[in-house]
């Protein structure tokens, strides 16, 4: 299994989980074997400065991820991930390593849409706001 974690820094497994996947500068791609991380690699977000609806979910799908963990995302992004069969989960705060461990243990809630004011994002995606990334 391959898990993508939206992260804020390039410190790999110690990087904090990004509050919103679309604004995450990096993704950590972790290969899971025998219940743990067997290897990982970092990918820069090619759409960090600007993205159209569905571009980042399609990119994560091309990277071969079966799951994505982030701090939160909008309803529209969730529907794109769902179309690709990519599970989404949230960890409002913590490291990539903690996110993966909790995901594998079944301790993370499924992603639910953020509920903030979304002006200025340009395509109906939710900005990180009230309710974004909360554990449901």
Give the tens place of pLDDT for each residue, 9-25: 999 999 999 998 888 99
Angle, nearest 10°, between helix axes 75-83 and 55-62? 30
In a domain, 116, yes or no: no
The confidence score (pLDDT) of residue 125 equals 38
Coil/strand/helix, residue 58: helix
- Supply the pTM of this predicted model: 0.82
Q: Are 21 and 59 in contact (CB under 8 A)?
A: no
Residue 99: both structure tokens together: 């996110």
Report how many domains make up the chain. 1
In a domain, 91, yes or no: yes
Length of the chain, please?
A: 136
In a domain, 66, yes or no: yes
In a domain, 50, yes or no: yes
Backbone angles phi, psi at 69, to 5 degrees: -115, 135
Beta-bridge partner residues of 121: none
In a domain, 30, yes or no: yes
Q: Are 56 and 22 in contact (CB under 8 A)?
A: yes
Coil/strand/helix, residue 14: helix
Range of the domain at 27: 2-110
In a domain, 129, yes or no: no
CA distance 109 to 122: 28
In a domain, 126, yes or no: no
User: What is the pLDDT averaged over residues 32-61?
Assistant: 92
CA distance 128 to 24: 11
User: What is the pLDDT averaged over residues 46-50?
Assistant: 88
Q: 36: which DSSP letter?
A: E
Give the tens place of pLDDT for each residue, 71-109: 988 888 899 999 999 999 999 899 999 999 999 999 997
115 vs 37, higher pLDDT: 37
In a domain, 127, yes or no: no
CA distance 101 to 70: 14
Share of the chain above pLDDT 70, in %: 82
CATH of the domain at 67: 3.30.420.130
């Amino acid at each position: 299994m391959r898990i993508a974690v939206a992260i804020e820094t390039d410190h790999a497994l110690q990087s904090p989980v990004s509050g919103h996947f679309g604004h995450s500068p990096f993704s950590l791609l972790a290969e899971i074997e025998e219940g743990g991380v067997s290897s990982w690699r970092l990918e820069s977000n090619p759409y960090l400065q600007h993205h159209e609806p569905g571009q980042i979910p399609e990119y994560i799908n091309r990277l071969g991820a079966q799951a994505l963990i982030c701090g939160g995302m909008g309803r529209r992004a969730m529907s794109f991930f769902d179309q690709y069969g990519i599970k989404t989960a949230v960890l409002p705060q913590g490291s990539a390593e903690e996110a993966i461990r909790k995901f594998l243990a079944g301790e993370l809630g499924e992603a639910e849409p953020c509920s903030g004011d979304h002006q200025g994002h340009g395509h109906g995606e939710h900005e990180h706001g009230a309710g974004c990334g909360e554990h449901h």
